[in-house]
């Protein structure tokens, strides 16, 4: 609820089209530092306030609708129906934070591919669902947990709503953080180093996000952020749209298997 309130309160904020280019004399490295800071910070906020708690509530809902599965062991060696403080904290730390980092960093690099405002957040969340949920999580068709919990249509609906709401949260949070930051400075290292270490450990488990971050970082360093040759504004929407079209068949197949 706190995350959604912040999203509504900050709905008019958005990530600038050219991060790092607003300050005279800003270098490409400083621009990249700003993108990484905005993405990682927004991801940590979203993971802590929304992805972790909402994911735990989704697990509780599916356990409640699957009474025959109580006591069974999930793929992650958790007991269905057993909700503990330690388990909840562990889920937020080991699932919510890494997932949030991936979501926030990917958005920071692909922000120009989406509409502005809450509409852009909803679209971003839906795109994440289609692109990644069918082979990573949470709608992986081979997940044995879906053999014991259900019903399948509720699984799909729950995580689809959660994905869209994740986008609705991360977009305004990223915009608000971007608006609050000044020009990149050496003192940013105090929080970027530990966040970078966390990202280095967690992003390999979300390897598509790692690929996007690496390619986006290289492009940001090579392509000028202002003046000269720049990426055409239609390139990112076309690339994202093509990826969504390519992912639709396996996504729909996974959804049909679950439902």
pLDDT for 165-216, tens place per residue?
999 999 999 999 988 887 777 777 777 788 888 888 888 888 888 999 999 8
Task: For 77-108, write each residue's pLDDT tens digit.
Answer: 667 767 778 778 888 888 889 999 999 999 99
pLDDT given for residue 19 in this prediction: 43
pLDDT given for residue 254 in this prediction: 87
- pLDDT over 70 (residue 25): no
Q: Which of 34-48, 52-66, 152-166 has the lowest mean pLDDT?
A: 52-66
pLDDT given for residue 229 in this prediction: 42
Phi-psi map region of 184: left, alpha, beta (phi>0 left; psi -120 to 50 alpha): beta
**What is the pLDDT confidence band of residue 226, given thresholds at 50, 70 and 90?**
very low
Mean pLDDT for all residues in the chain? 82
pLDDT given for residue 77 in this prediction: 62
pLDDT given for residue 29 in this prediction: 75
State pTM to two decimals.
Answer: 0.85
**What is the pLDDT confidence band of residue 140, given thresholds at 50, 70 and 90?**
confident
Cα gap 105→174, rounded to integer Å? 10
Q: Which of 15-29, 53-67, 74-88 has the lowest mean pLDDT?
A: 15-29
Q: Which of 14-23, 108-117, 118-127, 248-257 has the lowest mean pLDDT?
A: 14-23
pLDDT given for residue 191 in this prediction: 75
Could you identify the residue written with the tokens 């795109």?
127
pLDDT (mean) for 203-230: 76
């Amino acid at each position: 609820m706190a995350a959604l309130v912040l999203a509504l309160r900050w709905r008019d904020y958005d990530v600038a089209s050219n991060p790092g280019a607003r300050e005279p004399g800003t270098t490409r490295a400083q621009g990249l530092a700003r993108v990484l800071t905005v993405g990682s910070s927004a991801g940590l906020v979203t993971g802590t306030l929304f992805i972790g708690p909402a994911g735990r509530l989704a697990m509780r809902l599916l356990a409640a609708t699957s009474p025959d599965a109580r006591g069974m062991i999930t793929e992650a060696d958790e007991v269905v129906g057993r909700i503990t403080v330690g388990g909840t904290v562990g889920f937020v730390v080991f699932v919510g934070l890494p997932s949030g980092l991936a979501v926030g960093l990917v958005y920071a690099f692909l922000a120009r591919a989406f509409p502005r405002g809450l509409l852009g957040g909803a679209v971003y969340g839906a795109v994440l669902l289609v692109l990644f949920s069918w082979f990573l999580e949470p709608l992986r068709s081979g997940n044995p947990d879906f053999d014991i919990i259900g019903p399948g249509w509720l699984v799909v609906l729950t995580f689809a709503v959660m994905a869209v709401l994740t986008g609705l949260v991360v977009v305004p949070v990223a915009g608000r953080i971007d608006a609050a930051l000044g020009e990149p400075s050496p003192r940013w290292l105090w929080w970027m180093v530990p966040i970078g270490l966390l990202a280095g450990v967690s992003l390999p488990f979300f390897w598509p996000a790692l690929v996007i971050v690496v390619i986006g970082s290289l492009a940001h360093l090579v392509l000028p952020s202002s003046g000269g040759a720049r990426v055409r504004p239609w390139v990112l929407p076309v690339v994202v749209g093509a990826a969504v079209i390519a992912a639709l068949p396996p996504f729909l197949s996974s959804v049909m298997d679950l439902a």
